[in-house]
Amino acid sequence: MKTSFAIAAIAVLLSCSVWAAPNVIKPHHVEALGSDMNCRTCHTTKGKFQRPDAQTCIDCHGGMADIPTQPNRWDKNPHNSHHYEDLLECTVCHSEHKASKPLCVDCHVVEFPNLK
Ligand code: HEC
Ligand code: HEC
Ligand code: HEC
Ligand code: HEC
């Protein structure tokens, strides 16, 4: 009885954390723009929330060619690689509601200390 209650409680906690995550906007966006950065700033299509396309990010940031990243000792430039140039969607690497993950690490040994 106690065990099944504990399992049910853990299941509720897990489902909460899954559902709560999309409510968190990253600090760099909240600190820079306050309430001007709200859900509909990025999720511009009415109704159901969908992954925003790159143009949403580009409208504020410019494209990857306009955003230089720091040189690194592996000589890997995530915004301008010979495989993809600047043609990838921003959200391939940058996430808003979870940790970002650079595609390049799937195949290369490289670290990006400033990935947010
Ligand atoms: C309404 C304008 C706006 C939109 C839309 C927007 N951003 Fe931002 N973003 C900013 C501002 C302003 C900052 C803080 C100043 C800066 O670092 O450029 C920022 C900061 C960032 C940073 C941290 C930069 C650093 O060096 O600290 C990243 C990464 C980022 N945005 C990625 C994105 C991505 C990816 C998207 C699309 C999903 C996006 N942003 C959409 C305005 C915007
Ligand atoms: C700076 C842009 C930005 C803001 C602001 C933002 N989101 Fe998102 N949202 C994204 C991106 C990018 C994704 C894709 C998944 C990820 O990066 O975590 C996403 C994914 C989602 C998803 C999942 C959609 C799917 O089908 O994968 C939901 C739900 C969501 N956001 C809700 C919200 C809510 C609610 C808010 C306001 C509290 C919000 N978002 C604010 C950029 C944003
Ligand atoms: C699917 C695996 C894969 C991914 C993902 C990938 N690469 Fe590569 N990369 C390779 C392979 C294989 C080579 C060697 C063959 C070649 O030159 O195309 C290579 C070569 C390179 C080279 C030249 C040789 C070297 O090692 O310095 C650079 C620079 C590079 N990649 C950068 C990047 C960057 C930046 C990213 C992320 C945007 C990335 N790669 C993502 C597989 C990958
Ligand atoms: C292939 C993965 C990848 C894609 C696609 C990508 N980024 Fe990045 N971005 C990174 C990484 C990795 C860093 C951090 C580099 C470092 O730590 O040296 C970064 C850094 C940034 C920064 C901070 C720049 C600084 O001051 O160092 C901004 C802003 C940004 N990206 C916005 C964008 C936007 C907007 C797009 C789409 C137009 C985009 N990124 C597409 C991987 C990517």
pLDDT of residue 110: 97
The answer to whether 54 touches 91, Cβ cutoff 8 Å, is yes
Low-confidence ranges of the chain (pLDDT < 70): 1-21
Which atom of ligand 2 has the smallest separation from the CA of 26? 1
108 Cα to the center of ligand 3, angstroms: 7
- Among protein residues, the one with the nearest Cα to ligand 2's atom 25 is 50
- Is any atom of ligand 4 closer than 6 Å to the C-beta of 42? no
**Best substitution site from 41, 42, 59, 69 to test ligand 4's pocket, by max atoms within 8 Å of Cβ?**
69
Which amino acid, residue 102?
A: P
The answer to whether 93 touches 78, Cβ cutoff 8 Å, is yes
pLDDT of residue 12: 44
pLDDT of residue 20: 46
pLDDT of residue 46: 84
pLDDT of residue 17: 43
